[in-house]
Each structure stands twice: as C-alpha cells, then as structure tokens.
C-alpha cells in the first residue's frame, strides 16, 4: 500500500497568519492552529502534514540571517522524513530568504517552497488559501517516483518562481512578485503547467547544509547629486567586507574623479564591490558604455543580471564559507544556483 505524501510546513509568521490587534488595529502574527482552522479544504489534498512553528513568529521585516539559518537547520533535521517543505513567510523579505536558503543547501533533491499572502487568511478576499494549497500540492508532486521540483522556489498568485531570481515589486497587488530575468518554473491554472526545460535536475550527489553567514555587507545606491561624504561614509563603515553597488542602466555610474577614487580606495582596503543594476530587469554590462568602463578597470565585479536580494545573500554566504577574500572574488562571478546569467560583456 502506497503511503501518503508527507510535507513539513515551517511557519515563520507573515501576513498569511495575521489578525488585527483589537487595540491598535495593526496586523500581528497568530499561532498556526488558528491559521489552519481557516482552510478546511486542506483535508482534500490527502497529504500527511506536520508543522514546525518558529518559537516567536515574525513579521518578515524582522527576519535576520539567524532566521535563515534556523530554516535550514529545520529542513536538515527533517530532510529524510518528508517529500517536500513549505515555508510560510511574510512577503516583504521573502525574496531575501528564498535566495539565502537556495545558497545554503547544496545538491537539494526535494522542493522547498516559500509562500505567503497579501491579505490575512481570515479576510474574505484573501489570496492565502490558493497560495498555500497550491504550494503544498507542488511540494509533494512527483514524476516517475522522483520529486517534480528540486529547488528553492517562491509560489505566489499562480506562479512558481525560482527563489533566487525573485523580487517583490508590489505592496498592493496579489501578483506581488516578479522574476523579470528568468521565466516562471510553473503556472497554475486548471492544471499546473511546468516549464520542464528550466526545472533544475538533481545531480545525485549528497545534500549538504551550510549554516554560516557573514552579514558585514552594505548597499550603496547611486543617485544624481550624491555627495562624496555619503559615498565614503558607506564605504568606510567599520567592519564592512563587501558592497552591493546599485548603478544606473546596464551598470553605469558617474565618472567623476572623487567617485572612482573612493571606490578604488575601498578595493585597495580589500572591500569587494559588486555592480548590480537598479533597473527591474536587464543586466550589468561593464564596458559597454564609457560610464561603466572605469568600474571594471579598478576591480568592481559585474553582478550580471543578479537581483540585489540574491547579490546580498550570495556575498553573505561566500564570505562565511570561503577560506579568503580572493576566493570570494573568484567565486562571485560564477553562477552557483542559476542566480545569474553570464553575458558577453562579463
């Protein structure tokens, strides 16, 4: 007799499980049992479900690297017991968390799916039920007795997206996430249609879990009229090891002498600088225009088409798990989990 598929739900908090505080009217997380009571349809899935709830549920604005480590530890501890994992998470930092977990689990052979909602589960027009139920379906889905999905994903509003290619782009629409530089892994309609050509295939190697991150990273977003004090202030933060430089267009930045010298001084102090575009889609192409040529010449690394979220956590991961900074510099431009696409200008 075939056993029921098993899924572990990791409940971290987020809008999906929130209710209004009777005094302030602000949304606050509640326990999972109360959340589950609002989804009686879940019994029709015929899935054996277990729940791991964070000791303190979180609004995702309060999620820290230590919570990503906690998620990975929970998956590692339960890895052999379940067919798949669904992480209920607030949407605001879901892309950061999904990106982080994607780097922290090597040779993943089962689905890890992040989902949540824009409206709480108890609200009449909530998007929580569909997101949650379909995420569970995909988490236990198999083909030829093997998991259909073997990577970290975000499921939201009928789309399954690659976790480390995902960005939240809307605070008010149900379709809150985008993956502009990478197509959806699946779209859910009457049927769930998978894009089999891009689904990651398990390589058969043992799964390995990493539980170290180095948060000594900063973002330097350039803008017209920025001052030298602002730029040098970010570059001289005590203990900083790497900077995500958010540039214009295809990686362009001012060519003023003080700006280039500020970056050059930081690189001379062994600070790694990665060039990421501010644009919602497209790629950095250092050297295509004169306004990006100098960046490559002084040692700024091209982030290609990586998202800011993925660049941040990739640096945290590499800094914590590499023997030295030279190794980080060599590894960052190489895709580890299809989080970036190499272009001809790299």
Q: Is the residue at 336 inside a domain?
A: no
Domain-terminating residue out of 157, 177, 209: 209
229 and 300: one domain? yes
Q: Is the residue at 1 inside a domain?
A: no
Residue 179: name the closest of 95, 292, 268 by CA. 95
Cα dihedral 192→198→203→209 (10° resolution):
-80
pLDDT on residue 289:
87
275 and 198: one domain? no
Number of structural domains in the chain: 2
Q: Is the residue at 340 inside a domain?
A: no
Q: One of 12, 15, 126, 277 is an active-site residue; which one?
A: 15
Q: Is the residue at 337 inside a domain?
A: no
What lies within 8 Å, CB to CB, of 25 at 6+ separation is: none
Q: Is the residue at 58 inside a domain?
A: yes
74 and 202: one domain? yes
pLDDT on residue 344:
76
282 and 240: one domain? yes
pLDDT on residue 149:
97
CATH number of the domain enclosing 73: 3.40.50.1170
How far are the Cα atoms of 42, 56, 203 from residue 102, in angstroms, in the given order? 27, 23, 15
- Written as six digits, the tokens of 168 are 């939240």
CATH number of the domain enclosing 318: 3.40.50.40
Q: Compute φ and ψ for 286, nearest 5 degrees.
A: -60, 125
In order along the chain (346 residues), what is the average pLDDT of each group of 10 residues?
86 76 62 66 83 88 97 98 96 96 98 89 76 94 94 95 95 85 95 95 93 98 98 97 97 97 98 97 91 94 97 98 97 97 78
Domain-terminating residue out of 151, 186, 209: 209
Q: Is the residue at 128 inside a domain?
A: yes
120 and 21: one domain? yes
Q: Bridge partners of 105? A: 209
Q: What is the pLDDT of residues 59-108, one digit of tens each?
A: 899 999 999 999 999 999 999 999 999 999 989 999 999 999 999 999 99
193 and 234: one domain? no
- Written as six digits, the tokens of 58 are 């979180």
150 and 239: one domain? no
Enclosing domain of residue 317? 217-331
Q: Is the residue at 339 inside a domain?
A: no
197 and 133: one domain? yes
46 and 163: one domain? yes
Indicate the pTM of the whole model. Answer: 0.94
Judge whether 15 counts as a catalytic residue. Answer: yes
């Amino acid at each position: 007799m075939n056993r029921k598929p098993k899924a572990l739900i990791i409940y971290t908090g987020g809008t999906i499980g929130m209710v209004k505080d009777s005094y302030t009217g602000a949304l606050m997380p509640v326990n999972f049992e109360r959340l589950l009571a609002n989804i009686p349809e879940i019994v029709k899935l015929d899935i054996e479900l277990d729940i791991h709830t964070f000791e303190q549920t979180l609004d995702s604005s309060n999620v820290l690297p230590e919570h990503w480590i906690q998620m990975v530890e929970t998956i590692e501890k339960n890895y052999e017991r379940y067919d798949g994992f669904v992480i209920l998470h607030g949407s605001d930092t879901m892309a950061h968390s999904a990106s982080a977990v994607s780097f922290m689990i090597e040779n993943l052979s089962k689905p890890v799916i992040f989902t949540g909602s824009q409206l709480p589960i108890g609200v009449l027009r909530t998007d929580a039920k569909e997101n949650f139920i379909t995420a569970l379906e995909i988490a236990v889905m198999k083909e030829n007795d093997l998991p259909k999905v073997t990577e970290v994903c975000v499921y939201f509003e009928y789309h399954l997206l690659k976790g480390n290619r995902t960005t939240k782009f809307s605070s008010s629409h149900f379709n809150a996430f985008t993956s502009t530089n990478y197509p959806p892994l699946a779209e859910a309609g009457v049927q769930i249609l998978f894009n089999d050509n891009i689904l990651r295939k398990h390589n058969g190697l043992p799964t390995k879990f990493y539980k170290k991150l180095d948060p000594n990273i900063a973002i330097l977003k350039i803008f017209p009229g920025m001052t030298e004090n602002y730029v040098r202030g970010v570059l001289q933060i005590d203990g900083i090891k790497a900077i995500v430089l958010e540039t214009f267009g295809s990686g362009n930045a001012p060519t003023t002498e003080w700006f280039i010298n500020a970056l050059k001084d930081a690189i001379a102090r062994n600070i790694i600088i990665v060039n990421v575009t501010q644009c919602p889609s497209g790629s950095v192409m250092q050297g295509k225009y004169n306004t990006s040529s100098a960046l490559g010449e002084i040692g700024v690394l091209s982030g290609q088409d990586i998202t800011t979220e993925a660049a941040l956590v990739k640096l945290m991961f590499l800094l914590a798990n590499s023997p030295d900074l030279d190794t980080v510099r060599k590894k960052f431009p190489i895709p580890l989990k299809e989080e970036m696409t190499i272009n001809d200008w790299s």
